[in-house]
Chain A
Amino acid sequence: MWNTVFPYLLSGISVGGQYALIAIGYTMVYGILRLINFAHGDVFMVAGIVMVYMAASGLPLGICIPLVLVITALIGFVIERVAYKPLRTAPRMSAMISAIGVSYTLQNLVLYITGGLNQIYPTIPWISSSVTIFGATTKMVTLVTPVLTLILVVALVWLINHTKIGMAMRAVSRDFETSQLMGIKINRVISTTFVIGTFLAGVASLLYFTNYTTVIQTSGAMPGLKAFVAAVVGGIGSIPGAVVGAFIIGIAENIIKGLDIILFRLGVIKGPMGLATFSDAFTFALLIIILAVKPTGLFGEKITDKV
């Protein structure tokens, strides 16, 4: 039984970690701007494409990887400055539509550059190698992802709770105007938030595409959407919430992928029932249930606007 479930659990934890790194970007941006950054999944995809082209140009991977992370963070910075900052005082809907515009712009830009063909993601040595753990064979990246995710999340939470910029981020997320009265440059704080969020999406892209090996212009859509659901399930605006939500979704999704085999081994079903088909449906069903039952998510706080 354990031998059957374990590989699915393992990849679930790994995928969960990747979703978590993306979800943090959604939740941080929402926390500070009350904006669902629909372009976030596409930035994740672009990070993959940048890596493909960079590796193809012959640069050693040791340079490519940090460069990809820097470029991804820079893309996040530019998107905020160009597409969201001018709309700071506009109704929230305008920024959201702008986000959708950025999303399609990125997708189509990549379509234009790549011709819509699957790009082979470069093989990063060591994390692409196979390992056997408790009888399950998997890529090293599966083991690296949750560890790396945890380290990054702890670092991020520390940054937010114990540094001056972190304090400013919390202040700006609550009250723009009073933050300005403290002398905080809110645009700088918002830019920092985007840079951190897209940097983490860049890290996620390295891990994710190492696992899936190809990138295409729509590659960001599904992981992006699932990370978004993770952020909502955890309570949008909450970083621990996004991480927990992401692991729930990653694990559940992968267990469902193996449900046929697991149930068959348990003797519950006699033959394949194609339950794996429901792995994506589960994620979105969870979204609907959370929105209906607990709209603030697992860790979300009720926002009471005092009058």
Chain B
Amino acid sequence: MSMLKVKDLKVNYGGIEALKGISFDVEQGQIVTLIGANGAGKSTTLRAISGLVKTASGAINFMGRDIIPFNAQQVVAEGIAMVPEGRRVFDNLTVLENLKIGAYLRTDREEIEAGIEDIFQRFPRLKEREWQLAGTLSGGEQQMLAVGRAMMARPKLLMMDEPSLGLAPLVVKDIFSIIRDLKSEGITILLIEQNANAALRCADQAYVLETGRITMHGTGAELLADQRVRDAYLGSTAR
């Protein structure tokens, strides 16, 4: 059964139709990616799901519930966490506090402590910097922190907005191996990427978004092999 079903979703941004009716499904336990150029509506899609922008029409169904009327806080409570574009860690909070704030809605103190230990085992670099302000971390460390913070909400679905943006190639590799690890632990992931090559390689299902419409859909491997996708999104990286 699909965990997340988006149907005919339309979003208007100040008079402009950012999403012109898109539909896609996210199956439990899979990595689903939306790829597309700047301004195609990828971020808008995630923002609509997470309740940050109002939708014009359409349906968003998460685990059998209509989450369109939910605000951002209620969506988190439903079990959808987001790693926002540009990481957006709280630079005035310590690394530890950033993780704690990820668990803001949880009240199970001991489990939260255990969760923090888990994150520190996964990312030992964060453990070393536990008491540092998050603003002092490198870009890659901040991205790890942003992932850790989202994991602290114990999400059923993890949405990631351009996790590789602005990171060094080696670090990008790390990030994608983290994404694969998360999947192997049973976490469902909806991934948005401009780095189409890396995203398609790890995705079970992939959708191509062009100016507010979904123009192609297939498995990651299918789209990776598709000539149109290669020409438009993979460029020299696929050669």
Residues of A whose CB lies within 8 Å of any CB of B are 164, 167-168, 170-171, 173-175, 177-178, 180-185, 306
Contact = CB atoms under 8 A, between A and B. Distances in A.
Of A167, A170, A173, most B-chain CB atoms within 10 Å: A167
A180 B77 contact: no
B101 A168 contact: yes
B92 A183 contact: no
Interface of B: 50-52, 71-73, 76-77, 81-82, 84, 86, 88, 90-93, 97, 100-102, 104-105, 149, 153
B52 A184 contact: no
Given A178-B84, A184-B73, 16 more contacts: A167-B97, A167-B100, A167-B101, A171-B90, A173-B92, A174-B91, A175-B88, A181-B52, A181-B81, A181-B84, A182-B105, A183-B72, A183-B104, A183-B105, A184-B101, A184-B104
A240 to B, nearest CB: 14
Given A167-B97, A180-B73, A175 B104 contact: no
A168 B71 CA distance: 18
Nearest to A177: B52
A167 B84 contact: no
Is chain A's interface secondary structure helix, strand, loop, or mixed overall?
helix
Given A167-B97, A167-B100, A167-B101, A181 B76 contact: yes
Nearest to B159: A181
Contacts of A182: 76, 101-102, 104-105, 149, 153
B172 to A, nearest CB: 20
Contacts of A185: 73
Q: Is the interface of B mostly helix, strand, loop or mixed?
A: loop
Contacts of B50: 181
Nearest to B47: A177
25 contacts: A167-B97, A167-B100, A168-B101, A168-B104, A171-B90, A173-B92, A174-B91, A174-B92, A174-B93, A175-B90, A177-B52, A178-B84, A178-B90, A180-B72, A181-B50, A181-B52, A182-B101, A182-B102, A182-B104, A182-B105, A183-B73, A183-B153, A184-B73, A184-B101, A306-B86
A44 B93 CA distance: 32
A164 B103 CA distance: 11
Contacts of B93: 167, 170-171, 174
A225 to B, nearest CB: 29
Contacts of B101: 167-168, 171, 182, 184
Contacts of B153: 182-183
A300 to B, nearest CB: 13
A155 B104 CA distance: 22
B90 A174 contact: yes
Among all A-B residue pairs, the 10 with the closest Cβ atoms: A180-B72, A183-B76, A183-B105, A178-B88, A182-B104, A183-B104, A171-B90, A183-B73, A181-B82, A182-B101
Nearest to A161: B97
Contacts of B86: 306
Looking at A167, A168, A182, A183, which has the most chain B CB atoms within 10 Å of its CB?
A182
Contacts of A306: 86
A176 to B, nearest CB: 10
A257 to B, nearest CB: 39
A94 to B, nearest CB: 18
Contacts of B100: 167
A171 to B, nearest CB: 5
A183 B52 CA distance: 12
Contacts of A177: 52, 72, 84, 88
Contacts of A180: 51-52, 71-73
Q: Which of A173, A181, A183 has the most CB of B within 10 A?
A: A181
Contacts of A168: 101, 104
A182 B145 CA distance: 13
